[in-house]
Every structure is written in structure tokens, then in C-alpha cells.
Amino acid sequence: MRLVLTGSGASRGMALGRARLEHPSRYLVDERPLPEDEIDAEIERLKRAIEIAREELSLLREKLHGTMAREVAEFIDAHSLMLADRELTSGIFDLIRRGRYRASAALKMQRDRLVAVFEAMDDPYLRSRKEDVEHVIARVQAGLQRESSTEERKLASRVGEILVSDTVAPSELVPLAELGVLGVVLSSGSRVSHGAILARSLHLPMIVAAHDALGAIRDDDLILIDGESGVVIVHPASTDLARYRNWQRESLQRSKQLALLADRDTRTRDGVAIALHANAESTADIAQARASGAAGIGLYRTEFLFLQRRELPDEEEQYQVYREVVLGMGGLPVTIRTLDLGADKADSSGLVLDDEENPALGVRGVRLSLRHPQLMRTQLRAILRASAYGPVRVLVPMICAAEEMLEMRRLLRECARDLRTEGYEIPDNVELGAMIEVPAAAIALPNMIRELDFIAIGTNDLVQYTLAVDRNNDHLANLYDPLHPAVLKLLAQTIATAHRAGKRVSLCGEMAGDRRHTALLLALGLTDFSMHPGVLLEVRETIGAIDREQLRKHAAALLRAPTRERIERALTRMHAAGATVAITATESTS
């Protein structure tokens, strides 16, 4: 029976596939006593599920290559070792044989026991390994519960899989995409979470906050998802399938049209040159940035090098990766952001940090780097060595005060001096910039801008910190508003301050790649955007239809608007004046 579920669209695109329930917050646990004559069959059923989990991990390991293999190999190997652990499996078999538990209930009991053991450990790194236990048990539970729909088997057998889960770690998305997963449906999450950002980078349709998904969808159900509208259709009807086929045709045609813009300059309708840079974190992103005609890399995230591994990457490994990025851009500028981790992510890296009650406001970004200067020196040395192969800028996250930038500049100079002494050729000047993502930095910018060579605005966190709204909390999604009057004022002030000081200012948050906000940002004076390369051509097309001079006339009225309703009215008037194709006020929000 056709069923429509709603969530929030986090990554655009449509996908048709078989539902694959993975790591849900709850599984159907059969707690009925197991009759004695069913014990052997139940054990065989569990063995098959464990074997399925092993095969999946083995296949995943084989599919990985290059940088991604280095990133997640240890994570996969650890799970494989757990599945081969006799203590884990024999304990489950004993619960079935002696306790007369069914397989799903035995798995749950074994998971709870092991998780309790890990939670009691003093070492924060070992304590964090409880997540591995939960993931492994969940993978076996999924193998137990996988059932095929007889009605749709013929069609479902010809399509791939769509992950349906409670949450998914960003580090899991890459291998899932490489294995051919077509899309993701999550019962929780936010469209500005790190996982959602990565899904957009992978062109993986994603729907978050689909609260009823785990209860309404079963393994192997045929589902159709629309990452634009946030709709999930279970057992789609013929009309739904026809709409999907139309979308496929239109998407192909649209891609061909946009491809024609790849070699063109980015200019507004009234001739103002705009720089479109790309955000990147993989070699695939670099290739797409070049193919889309990006002006350079405006934000290269380095966190992936540190995640899901037991040892920190050394200088040589980091250098090789950064050099590959610089060479890949063929002489175009590359902005490399220093490590942007906190206690909420460090446990999945080689770093061991104390737990924090509120890691979003804790030791993260530049604070972490300055507390671990040797860690920072290693990364800066690797970046400086890579800068010999093309123009490189260093971007520092989570800056709040000028003192932090002064200390970072001192470290950068020391590293450059040491490298020259060791015989390395280092450019005379590598620019050092700050990421403006904390309100204090935006407000204090006039007093510290002399310490900066350039500025990058990170709107994802700036909105979060300005509004005191956790961007990963789907219950607060309606309050996470980049068009809040306070956010707009901080954006306008930051851009104006940079321009007065003659410093380059770019915006590399999600707003930059959302063409519904393009006219607004141009009106505020922005001329340098950085976004995922997959949306760069769309933004270039949008800019070409806009008269910037007309938009700028409406900026003051926009910033005076005291409420969201007034802002929407001002946006409507602004779009009508400055764009050849009007964008409604509703479309201009997110």
C-alpha cells in the first residue's frame, strides 16, 4: 500500500531503490521463549546473519581505494575482527541454547552487556569503542530482519539500495556511496549537519528528520525519495514512477545546459566580476572543481585525514595529500583549513581528549591546535611544503581574538624558518586568514583585521552560535535561520569591514552554494563565494541573471527590517528589481 512520509530535504536529487535498514535506534526484538526444537534452526539463522555482515564488510573493504581506503580501513577491520571474536559470538549462541532466547533478543542482551563494560572504562578512547559494538550488532540485526517484498521483487531486484537509519556517521557515507547506495533517509538529523554537507558533496540524495521512517519502512520495501521536497514514498505507484522517470530526463538535460557554463567567466548582468571558489575534501571534489571552472579552492577541509584512525597522520602523509590537492588545481589558489575538530569528533581520530559537556563551545578548532602545538606544527609544516607547488593560503577556524591569530602567525613563521633551514624551498609569503564563524570574531573584526591577510565567513556555525541553536538538533530546525536580522547584520558588517581594510573576504558556508541566497549575498556586497563544486554552475547561471547595482540599492532596507516577515518583503522587492527571473520570498528561505 502506498505510503507518503515527510522529512526535511538535506541533499537534492531523487532515488528509487530497496530500503536497507541500518543501525536503527530500535529493532524488532522477538522476546518470545524459543521452543527447544527450534534452537538449531535459530542458531543457523544467526550464523547466516553474521556471515552476511562479514561479507558486506569484506566487499566494502575491496571497493575502497586511494585516500578513502586509508581513511576508513581501520574502522572496517575493527568491525570484521569483532565479528570473528569467539567471545562475542559464543556468548550469543549460549543465550540461544541455554536461555532459549531468539536471535534478535540474544543480540540485544550481548550488546547491552558489552556496552556496559566499555562505558565503565576510565580511558575515553576505549570508552568510545562502545559505538563499534553497537554498529556491529546492528549490522547483524539487519541481516536477521532483512525480508524481501514479494510484490515488488521483480522491480526491486533491478535497483540499488537506499539506506534508512536513525543516524549515519559522516565517515560511513563515503564507503556507502562507493558501494552504490543511491540515497539516505534518516529519522533524525539536520540539513546543515556534517553528514548532510558530505551527502551533498557525494551527490547522494538525503532526507533527514523523517521521524516515522524506521517504524513505517521495512527491509526490501521499494521506496522513492525526493531530496528536494523531503518526501519518502513507500511502495510508489505508477504515477510516482512516471514522475521519477521525468525527473531523470530533465536532470540529464539540465546537466547538459549547465555544462556549457563551465568555461565562462562569472559576471553579473551589469558586468561585475564574481569569484566562485570550491569547497573540497577529496580528490573527486578537486576534479569536479576544475571541470566546473572554479577560481580555486576556497576551503579544503583536512579533518578526514584524522578521522576513524588510531594514529595521527604524520607530516609526510599530510604533505602528500596537500601536494596532490595543490597540483590538482594547476596553479589556482588553494585555501587549506587547519584541523577543525573538537571533543565530539576527536574520539574517532588519533586524538584522545577529555569529555566535554558542551563540545560545540569547548576545545575545538584553533583552541585545540594551540593546546597541542606539536600537532599544529606538523600540519603547518606539511602545508608549507605543499605550498612550493602552487599558491596556498592557510585558514584558521574558530577564531575569537587577535591573540589567537598572533600565536598562529608565530607558529607559521617558525615552521617556515625551520623548513628553510632544513633545505626546503618555501614561498616568501603564505597568507594566513581567519574563519569568521563566532559572533565575537565578527564584532571584534575591526580591531583584529590588521592581523589577517584574508577572511572567510563560515555561515554554518555563525548562524548556530549567533542564534544559540544546535544545527544538528532537528527539533530546532525552524529556529536555525540564516535570514535572522542579527545574522544578516553580522554578515553585512563583516563584509564591509573587510572591504574598508582592503582584505579579501569570501563566504564558504552552505549559504554560498544555495542559489536562493545568491542575490541576498550580492546585495550585501559579497563578491567571493566558495561552495561545493556540484552547485557551482547553478550559482554561476543565477549570478548571470542578476543586476548587482540594482540589488545594492535595497541592502539598507533589508538590514533595517526588524522581523522575518519584513525581511521576506524586502527580499521580494529586491529580487524583482535585480533579477531577470524573480525568486519568491518563500523560495529565498531555507
Phi, psi of 107 (to 5 degrees): -60, -45
On average, the pLDDT of the chain sits at 85
- Over residues 13-41, the mean pLDDT reads 79
pLDDT the model gives residue 62: 65
Q: Is the dihedral of CA 164, 169, 175, 178 positive or negative?
A: positive
The predicted-structure confidence for 56-110, as pLDDT tens digits, reads as follows 677 666 655 544 455 456 666 777 777 877 767 788 888 998 888 988 888 888 8
pLDDT the model gives residue 146: 55
Q: Can 415 be counted among the known catalytic residues?
A: no
Q: Judge contact between 372 and 311, C-beta under 8 A.
A: no
The predicted-structure confidence for 150-196, as pLDDT tens digits, reads as follows 444 445 445 688 999 988 877 678 777 777 889 999 998 888 777 88
pLDDT the model gives residue 159: 66
Whether the pLDDT of residue 381 is over 90: the answer is yes
Q: What is the CA radius of gyration of the chain?
A: 25
State the catalytic residue, choosing from 194, 484, 517, 575. Answer: 194
Whether the pLDDT of residue 301 is over 70: the answer is yes
Percent of the chain predicted with pLDDT > 70: 86
Whole-prediction pTM value? 0.74
pLDDT the model gives residue 13: 94
pLDDT the model gives residue 294: 97
pLDDT the model gives residue 175: 73
Whether the pLDDT of residue 581 is over 60: the answer is no
The predicted-structure confidence for 258-268, as pLDDT tens digits, reads as follows 999 999 999 99
pLDDT the model gives residue 344: 54
State the catalytic residue, choosing from 79, 400, 484, 508. Answer: 508
Pairing label, strands 454-457, 392-396:
unpaired
Strands (DSSP E) contained in 22-160 are none
**354 pLDDT tier (thresholds 50, 70, 90):** low
Which of 225, 227, 214, 235 minimizes the C-alpha distance to 22? 214
Domains and CATH numbers, the chain: 3-247 (1.10.274.10), 296-434 (3.20.20.60)
pLDDT the model gives residue 431: 98
Q: Judge contact between 507 and 436, C-beta under 8 A.
A: no
- Over residues 416-433, the mean pLDDT reads 96
C-alpha cell at 373: 602545538
Nearest-angstrom CA–CA distance, 546 and 302: 34
Sheet with 206-208: list strands edge to edge.
3-6, 231-234, 222-226, 14-21, 161-165, 183-186, 206-208, 8-11
Q: Can 194 be counted among the known catalytic residues?
A: yes
504: part of which helix (H) or strand (E)? strand 504-507
